[in-house]
Homo-oligomer: A and B are copies of this chain.
Amino acid sequence: MMRTGGLITCILFFFLYLSGASAMRPVMKKRREPCKRLELFFHDIVYNGKNAENATSTIVAAPEGANRTILAGQNHFGNVVVFDDPITLDNNLHSTPVGRAQGMYIYDRKDTFCSWLGFTFALNSTEHQGTLSFIGADPLLNKTRDISVVGGTGDFSLAKGIATIMTDAYEGEVYFRLHVDIKLYECW
C-alpha cells in the first residue's frame, strides 16, 4: 500500500512534468510588449536652391526632364532625396541633437504622396550609443505609418521592431518634422 502511494504521487509528477515539457517548447511566443521603446523627433530641411546653409537634405535624382532643385510634379514621383537630419528628444528643431538620421527617401508613387525610406539613426547621447536601421513604405498622407526596424548596433545590437512615423509639422515643401515612436521587440 505504501509503495502504491509513492508510485501514485510520482506518476502525478510524471504527468505534471510532461504537460510542463510541452508548455516549455522553445518556440518564440508573441510578445506584445516592447522590450525597449524610444520616442524621438527628426527635422528635415530640403535644399531648395536658396537655403544651402540650413538645408539638411538634398534632391539627388529625378526622372529625365525634371531638375534637382524643385521637387518633381506627379507627387514628386521619381525624386530621390539624401538626408542628414538632427534627431531631438522633443519637437524643437533647436534642441540639442541626440544623434543624426542618415539615409534617403524616394518618392515612389504617381497617384499620391508616398515615399520609400531607407535610413539609420546614429544616436550619440549619454543615454544611448548605437544605431538603428529602418526600411519601409511611408504613405505620407496617413496620420501614422509603420515601418520596420531591421537591425541595430551598439546599445541596439541586433534590434528588431516597428517604428510608427507621424508628420508632426511641415512648412511648405522645405521643412518636415517627423515624430518617431520606436518599439523594439528583440533586445539582446
A38 CB within 8 Å of chain B: no
A157→B162 CA distance, assembly (Å): 8
Give the interface segment out of A13-21, A89-97, A169-177: A13-21
Q: Is the CB of A137 within 8 A of B148?
A: no
Q: Is the CB of A148 within 8 A of B153?
A: yes
Q: From known contacts A63-B58, A64-B49, infer whether A160 and B162 are also in contact, taking CB-CB under 8 Å.
A: no
A141 CB within 8 Å of chain B: no
Q: Is the CB of B154 within 8 A of A135?
A: no
A133→B150 CA distance, assembly (Å): 9
Q: Which of A47, A60, A80 is packed against the most chain B CB atoms within 10 Å? A: A60
A131 CB within 8 Å of chain B: yes
Q: Residues of B contacting A83 with CB < 8 Å?
A: 108
Contact of A116 among B17, B78, B119 (CB under 8 A): B119
Q: 1/0 contact trace for A143-157 toward B, CB 8 Å?
A: 000111111111001
Copies of this chain present:
3
Q: How far is the CB of A148 from chain B (nearest CB, A)?
A: 3
Q: 1/0 contact trace for A93-124 toward B, CB 8 Å?
A: 00000001011101111100010101110100
Q: Is the CB of B61 within 8 A of A61?
A: yes
Number of residues on chain A facing chain B (CB within 8 A): 78
- Contact residues, A155-188 vs B (CB, 8 A): 157-158, 160-162, 185-186, 188
- Contact residues, A13-70 vs B (CB, 8 A): 13-14, 16-17, 20-21, 24-31, 47, 49, 58-64, 67-69
Q: How far is the CB of A46 from chain B (nearest CB, A)?
A: 11
Per CB-CB distance, the 7 closest pairs between chain A and chain B, nearest first, are A148-B151, A6-B6, A64-B68, A146-B153, A2-B2, A61-B61, A60-B61
